[in-house]
C-alpha cells in the first residue's frame, strides 16, 4: 500500500492547479443548464481544450494527455477545488466516449472524439422514453432500414441539455420482431436535421435542462451505429456502468462541497449540527478512499463491475445528506434564491439541494441499483 502520490503525480497536480488558478473565470457563469449559460460554458470548454485540459485521460491524438486514472482523479480534485464551471460536455466525454473507445471503429474514433473534446459537438443521452424509465429494455423508439443507414421514429424524454446539444445517443429497436434486450441498436443521432423536434422541459429548479426529443424519420448513417446492429444492449450497459462507477461523479466534486459546507459552518456555527458537518466531510473523504481502492483494482487488472452500483448509491445519498445539512445551517435563509437581498452564497445551496435530490433518480434509480447488487453481488434469488 502506498497512499502517497508519486512525484510525477504531484507535478501533474501542481500544473493543473496553476493553470486553473490562472484561467477559471472570476465571476461564476450562468447556469450551464440554461440556454444563455450553456453558450458561456461552451466557450469555457474550448479554452480548456486549447490548453489540453478537457479530456486529460484520453490519448493525445484525440486531445488528451494520456493521463493515468489516478492523474484523472487528481485533475478532477483540482478542477472542483478551483471552483471551475460544471462540465456541459460531461455526457459526451465521460459517458459516450468510454463506449466509443470500447466499441467504436477507428473511423468513428477519429471523427467523433476530437470534435467532442474540443466542444465543437456536444452530446446528450437519450435512453429514457415515456414508457421506458427504469425498464429501459421496453424502449419503443425504432429504426427502419434505408439505403446507407436507418430512419428513426419515436420519442425520447428527460434528455439532459438535449435542447442545446448537437447529437444524442440511445437505443432503438432495429429488429421489429424482437423483444426486450434483443434487437436493439445503439445509434448516434444528429439533432440538426429534418425529422427531429426538440422541446425543452423545465426542471424543478426552473432551468430548461430537460428535453423531449421527437423523432420522425430522422436519418442515421451506418457509420453512426455503435458496436453493431442488434448489439445495442451490451453496448449501452458499458456506458451505464461508467456512469455509475467512476466517471460521472468523481470524489473531487464532493470534497469541494464538503469544504464549502465546513466554511458555511464556520460562518454560521450551530453546535447542534457540528457532527453532521463533520460527517459530510468524512463521507466525502471516504468516497475518495473507496474510489482510490477501485482505481487501484482497475490498474491491477480488475473490473468495476456491479459494485459500481454501490458507488452510485453512496454518492447520491451522501450528496443529499450534505446539502440538507447546509439548508439546516441556513435556517430561515435557506429558501432565498440567488439575487434575493439576503441570500447566502448566492442561494447556491438550495440549487445544490435540488440537484442532489435527482441523484437517486438519474443514472438508474437507487432502488434499481439495490436490485442489481442483490442479484449480481450477493447472488440473491429472483
Partner 1 sequence: MRFSFTEEQRQMRDALRSSLTESCPSGRVRAAWKTPDAALRIELAEQGILAINLPEDAGGLGLGAQDWVLLAEELGLVAAPVNLIETLATNPTLAAIGALDLASQVGTGAEFVALEEPGGFALDADKAAGILAVRDGRVGWLRDATLIAETSVDGTRRPFKVDGRFEAVDADATDLLDRAALVAAAELVGLSRRMLDLAVEYSKSRRQFGKPIGSFQAVQHHLVDALQRIAFAAPAVYRAAWSVDTNHPNRSVHVSMAKVYASEAALFTGRKALQVHGAIGYTFEYDLHMWMKRAWTLSSAWGDVRHHTDRVGQFVMSGGQDA
Ligand X SMILES: Cc1cc2nc3c(=O)[nH]c(=O)nc-3n(C[C@H](O)[C@H](O)[C@H](O)COP(=O)(O)OP(=O)(O)OC[C@H]3O[C@@H](n4cnc5c(N)ncnc54)[C@H](O)[C@@H]3O)c2cc1C
Judged by the rule CB under 6 A, the positions of this chain that interact with ligand X are 124-128, 133-134, 158-160, 358, 361-362, 365, 367-368, 371
Q: Where are the alpha helices (DSSP H) in 51-148?
A: 69-81, 90, 97-103, 106-117
- Please report the DSSP string for 195-238 in residue order: TEEEEEE--TTS---EEEEEEEEEEEEGGGB-S-TT-HHHHHHH
| Residue in the structure block whose three cell numbers are 448516434 | 188
Nearest to 158 by CA among 382, 374, 363, 367: 363
Q: Do the beta carbons of residue 159 and residue 210 sit within 8 Å?
A: yes
Buried b / exposed e over 262-272, threshold 16 CB at 10 Å, is eebbeeeeeee
Q: Which does residue 125 touch among ligand X, partner 1, none (CB within 5 to 8 A, set by kind)?
A: ligand X
Q: Which residue is nearest to ligand X (CB)?
A: 133
Which cell goes with 8? 510525477
Residue number, 159 or 250, with CB nearest to ligand X: 159
Q: How far is the CB of 40 from partner 1 (least distance, A)?
A: 29
Q: Tell me: does residue 304 bind partner 1 (CB under 8 A).
A: no
Residue number, 82 or 240, with CB nearest to ligand X: 240
Residue number, 203 or 288, with CB nearest to ligand X: 203
Query: How far apart, in whole angstroms, are the C-alpha atoms of residue 187 and residue 180?
Result: 17
Query: How far apart, in whole angstroms, are the C-alpha atoms of residue 17 and residue 160?
Result: 29
Q: Do the beta carbons of residue 284 and residue 251 sit within 8 Å?
A: yes
Catalytic: which of 243, 324, 328, 335?
A: 243
- Binding residues with partner 1: total (CB under 8 A): 47
The torsion region of residue 195 among left (phi > 0), alpha (psi -120 to 50) and beta comes to left
Q: Tell me: does residue 107 bind partner 1 (CB under 8 A).
A: no
Q: How far is the CB of 315 from ligand X (least distance, A)?
A: 14
Q: Tell me: does residue 272 bind partner 1 (CB under 8 A).
A: no
Q: How far is the CB of 161 from ligand X (least distance, A)?
A: 7
Residue number, 125 or 311, with CB nearest to ligand X: 125
Q: Tell me: does residue 18 bind partner 1 (CB under 8 A).
A: no
Q: Which does residue 255 touch among partner 1, ligand X, none (CB within 5 to 8 A, set by kind)?
A: partner 1
Q: Please report, for residues 45, 105, 124, 273, the alpha-carbon distance to residue 220 in angstroms, rounded to integers and kept in the order given.
A: 27, 16, 16, 54
Query: How far apart, in whole angstroms, are the C-alpha atoms of residue 62 and residue 59?
Result: 6
Q: Which of 23, 230, 238, 371 binds partner 1 (CB under 8 A)?
A: 371
Q: Which of 39, 86, 304, 310 binds partner 1 (CB under 8 A)?
A: 310
Residue number, 164 or 281, with CB nearest to partner 1: 281
Residue number, 54 or 125, with CB nearest to ligand X: 125
Side-chain-side CA neighbours of residue 381 (13 Å): 0
Q: How far is the CB of 262 from partner 1 (least distance, A)?
A: 6
Query: How far apart, in whole angstroms, are the C-alpha atoms of residue 18 and residue 31?
Result: 25
243 flagged as catalytic: yes
Q: How far is the CB of 244 from partner 1 (least distance, A)?
A: 13
Q: Tell me: does residue 314 bind partner 1 (CB under 8 A).
A: yes
Q: Which stretch binds partner 1 (CB under 8 A): 95-103, 177-185, 275-283, 333-341?
A: 275-283
Residues 230-259 that bind partner 1 (CB under 8 A): 255
Torsion sign, CA atoms 288, 329, 278, 339: positive
Query: How far apart, in whole angstroms, are the C-alpha atoms of residue 3 and residue 281?
Result: 19
Residue number, 53 or 265, with CB nearest to partner 1: 265
Catalytic positions are 243
The site for partner 1 (CB under 8 A) is made up of 1-6, 9, 70, 77, 255, 262, 265-266, 274-275, 277-279, 281-282, 285-287, 289-290, 292-293, 295-297, 299-300, 307, 310, 313-314, 367, 370-371, 373-374, 377-382
Amino acid at each position: 500500500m502506498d497512499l502517497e502520490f508519486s512525484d510525477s503525480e504531484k507535478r501533474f497536480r501542481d500544473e493543473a492547479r496553476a493553470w486553473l488558478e490562472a484561467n477559471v473565470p472570476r465571476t461564476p457563469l450562468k447556469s450551464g443548464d440554461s440556454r444563455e449559460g450553456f453558450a458561456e460554458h461552451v466557450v469555457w470548454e474550448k479554452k480548456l481544450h486549447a490548453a489540453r485540459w478537457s479530456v486529460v485521460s484520453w490519448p493525445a491524438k484525440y486531445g488528451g494527455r494520456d493521463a493515468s486514472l489516478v492523474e484523472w482523479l487528481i485533475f478532477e480534485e483540482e478542477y472542483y477545488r478551483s471552483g471551475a464551471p460544471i462540465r456541459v460536455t460531461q455526457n459526451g466525454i465521460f459517458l459516450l466516449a468510454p463506449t466509443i473507445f470500447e466499441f467504436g471503429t477507428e473511423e468513428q474514433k477519429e471523427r467523433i472524439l476530437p470534435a467532442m473534446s474540443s466542444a465543437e459537438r456536444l452530446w446528450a443521452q437519450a435512453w429514457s422514453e415515456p414508457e421506458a424509465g427504469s425498464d429501459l429494455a421496453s424502449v419503443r423508439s425504432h429504426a427502419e432500414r434505408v439505403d446507407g443507414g436507418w430512419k428513426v421514429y419515436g420519442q425520447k424524454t428527460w434528455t439532459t441539455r438535449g435542447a442545446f446539444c448537437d447529437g444524442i445517443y440511445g437505443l432503438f429497436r432495429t429488429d421489429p420482431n424482437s423483444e426486450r434486450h434483443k434487437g436493439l441498436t445503439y445509434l448516434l443521432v444528429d439533432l440538426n436535421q429534418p425529422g427531429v423536434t426538440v422541446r425543452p422541459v423545465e426542471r424543478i429548479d426552473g432551468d430548461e435542462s430537460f428535453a423531449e426529443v421527437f423523432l420522425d424519420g430522422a436519418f442515421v448513417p451506418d457509420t453512426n451505429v455503435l458496436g453493431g446492429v442488434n448489439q445495442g444492449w451490451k453496448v449501452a450497459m458499458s456506458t451505464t456502468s461508467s456512469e455509475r462507477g467512476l466517471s460521472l461523479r468523481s470524489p473531487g466534486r464532493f470534497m469541494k462541497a464538503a469544504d464549502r459546507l465546513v466554511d458555511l459552518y464556520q460562518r454560521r456555527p450551530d453546535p447542534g449540527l457540528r457532527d453532521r458537518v463533520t460527517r459530510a466531510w468524512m463521507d466525502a473523504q471516504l468516497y475518495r478512499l473507496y474510489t482510490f481502492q477501485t482505481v487501484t483494482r482497475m490498474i491491477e487488472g480488475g473490473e468495476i463491475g456491479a459494485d459500481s452500483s454501490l458507488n452510485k448509491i453512496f454518492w447520491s445519498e451522501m450528496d443529499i445528506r450534505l446539502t440538507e445539512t447546509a439548508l439546516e445551517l441556513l435556517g430561515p435563509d435557506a429558501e432565498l434564491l440567488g439575487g434575493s437581498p439576503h441570500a447566502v452564497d448566492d442561494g447556491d445551496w438550495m440549487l445544490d439541494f435540488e440537484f442532489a435530490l435527482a441523484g437517486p433518480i438519474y443514472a438508474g434509480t437507487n432502488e434499481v441499483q439495490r436490485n442489481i447488487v442483490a442479484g449480481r453481488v450477493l447472488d440473491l434469488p429472483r
